[in-house]
């Protein structure tokens, strides 16, 4: 059993205790960032004269050889190591001898793992921002192509008012842009280097923490050694942001699942992102959308697990914090996979524009515009609301739309109606007269598109 401690102990660790305590089975994915952090630490130790320049060179060469051998397949992960740190250090000592034992000078596993997790989380954050940027670009392309694709908007899952597909999808683009901005903000808070905090109280060695921070691309070194080793706020923030991303994806998936149903028929899923039934040959199921929707609960669970782990921990480091890794690894992997798969699914969706438009013409989505028509003719809004309510009830009885009624029938309900009512309640009129910022008119959506083009890929928000 390869461990970095033991001098104070007289008995071997019980195998079950070792197995329960070890983290190498899952923290091995920190291998690359552990090497990266150790290279910077060794360089600083030599620069500060804490170890000789010769030993510093040996350590760095040894670490690089471990890295190269792993990449080439000569070195493989094997059982018996307590964690990724003991794996790297044991292999280093085996390669370069006594010099390898000096790498851990001025460092604790507490600040070492805090560094590794920040390096890893930083890279994952960047990767997920990149994935979101691709999704936002795909969504923007669909929006640009559908500024005149009419469809119903809904409240309470009931048809409400006509909008365009571009306007509808812009709502989701707004969500994803907020997600991107949120990740950029969290990145700024996590990008502070904890190495040099030691176990909890720093060290007596003259470390140059700012040098290490700069070497590793951090904005600065952390300000309090106890907080440095016990802080997991950045992981909680990230997992919270991941949960919000998944919530947005899940809502969008729910839309597509509904739209893909026979009752809506607004979209057709591409075969590459659908599955069939083992018993019903006619079925084409939106399984990817359903799985993304389902995995949202998984990411929520990862967040709640870490929040619960951290809620009662006194300063500074406690072994409970080892539980941060599997949940974060799972959440970050899940959200990354879901964004990528969702983007591919969305990119290949066929929108059935004629069915969307036909649907918008049914369900009295122009009722509000009919009321506005009366208001413009001098009728008080509350009275206009009542008149159109009666008109809708009349149409329901006749199983027809408002525009199907003759002018004589309309005048029986209100003499204010004139021939121009028919133009006032067409889909195009209903949509295009909504010129307010953020509205569904082509002009308003094109203004939004110009704004989106300035935001996508920059993380500057809206």
| Rounded Cα–Cα distance for residues 119 and 37 (Å) | 8
Using CA atoms, how far apart are residues 221 and 199, in angstroms rounded to an integer?
16
Whole-angstrom CA distances from 449 to 85, 117, 176, 363 are 49, 38, 14, 29
Give which of 387, 461, 460, 457 is closest to 421, Cα–Cα. Answer: 387
Could you tell me which residues are beta bridge partners of residue 151? 163
Q: How far is CA 382 from CA 356, 370, 375, 404, in A?
A: 31, 13, 9, 24
Check: CB of residue 459 under 8 Å from CB of residue 125: no
Q: How far is the C-alpha of 108 from the C-alpha of 82, rounded, in Å?
A: 15
Of the candidates 366, 384, 353, 381, the one whose C-alpha atom is nearest the C-alpha of residue 423 is: 366
CA distance 212 to 194: 10
Distances from the Cα of 209 to the Cα of 50, 192, 302, angstroms:
13, 11, 32
Catalytic pick from 78, 156, 278, 406?
156
Q: What are the E-state strand segments in 273-352? A: 350-351
Nearest to 130 by CA among 83, 180, 94: 180
156 is catalytic: yes
Strands 192-193 and 220-221: parallel
Tokens 């930083």 -> residue: 122
- Report the distance separating Cα 386 and Cα 462, nearest Å: 39
In sequence order, what are the residues at sequence separation of 6 or more whose Cβ sits closer than 8 angstroms to the Cβ of residue 16? none
According to DSSP, the β-strands at 267-268 and 350-351 are antiparallel
Residue found by looking up tokens 């890295």 in the block:
67
DSSP output for 11-28: SPPPHHHHHHH--HHHHG
From 23, 38, 41, 277, the catalytic residue:
277
What residue spans of 155-262 are helical by DSSP H?
Answer: 165-190, 209-215, 225-230, 233-259
Listed residue (80, 85, 105) closest to 12, CA to CA: 80
Assess whether 277 carries a catalytic annotation.
yes
Catalytic residues: 156, 277
């Amino acid at each position: 059993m390869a461990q970095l401690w033991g001098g104070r102990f007289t008995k071997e660790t019980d195998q079950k205790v070792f197995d329960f305590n070890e983290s190498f089975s899952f923290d091995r994915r920190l291998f690359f960032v552990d090497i990266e952090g150790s290279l910077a630490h060794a360089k600083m130790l030599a620069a500060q004269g804490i170890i000789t320049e010769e030993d510093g060179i040996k350590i760095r060469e040894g670490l690089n050889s471990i890295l190269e051998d792993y990449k080439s397949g000569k070195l493989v992960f094997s059982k018996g190591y307590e964690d990724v740190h003991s794996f790297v250090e044991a292999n280093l000592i085996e390669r370069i001898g006594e010099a390898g034992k000096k790498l851990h000078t001025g460092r604790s596993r507490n600040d070492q793992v805090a560094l590794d997790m920040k390096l890893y989380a930083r890279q994952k954050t960047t990767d997920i921002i990149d994935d979101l940027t691709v999704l936002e670009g795909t969504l923007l392309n669909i929006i640009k192509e559908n500024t005149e694709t009419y469809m119903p908007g809904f409240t309470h899952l009931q048809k409400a008012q006509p909008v365009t597909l571009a306007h509808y999808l812009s709502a989701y683009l707004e969500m994803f842009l907020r997600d991107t901005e949120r990740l950029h903000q969290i990145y700024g808070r996590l990008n502070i280097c904890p190495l040099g905090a030691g176990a909890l109280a720093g060290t007596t060695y003259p470390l140059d923490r700012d040098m290490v921070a700069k070497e590793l691309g951090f904005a600065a070194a952390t300000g309090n050694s106890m907080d440095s080793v016990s802080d997991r706020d950045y992981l909680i923030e990230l997992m919270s942001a991941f949960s919000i991303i998944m919530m947005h994806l899940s809502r969008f998936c729910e839309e597509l699942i509904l739209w893909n149903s026979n009752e809506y028929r607004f979209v057709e899923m591409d075969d590459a992102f659908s599955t069939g039934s083992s018993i019903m040959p006619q079925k084409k199921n939106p399984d990817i959308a359903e799985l993304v929707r389902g995995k949202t609960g998984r990411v929520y669970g990862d967040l709640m697990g870490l929040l619960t782990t951290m809620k009662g921990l006194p300063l500074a480091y406690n072994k409970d914090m080892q539980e941060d890794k599997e949940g974060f690894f799972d959440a970050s992997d899940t959200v990354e996979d879901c964004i990528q798969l969702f983007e591919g699914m969305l990119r290949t969706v066929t929108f059935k524009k004629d069915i969307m438009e036909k649907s918008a013409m049914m369900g009295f989505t122009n009722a509000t515009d009919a009321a506005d028509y009366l208001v413009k003719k001098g009728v008080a809004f509350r009275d206009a609301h009542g008149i159109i309510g009666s008109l809708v009830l009349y149409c329901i009885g006749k199983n027809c739309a408002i525009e199907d009624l003759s002018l004589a029938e309309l005048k029986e309900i209100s003499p204010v109606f004139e021939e121009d009512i028919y133009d006032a309640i067409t889909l195009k009129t209903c949509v295009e007269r909504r010129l307010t910022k953020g509205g569904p008119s082509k002009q308003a959506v094109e203004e939004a598109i110009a704004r989106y083009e300035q935001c996508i890929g920059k993380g500057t928000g809206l």
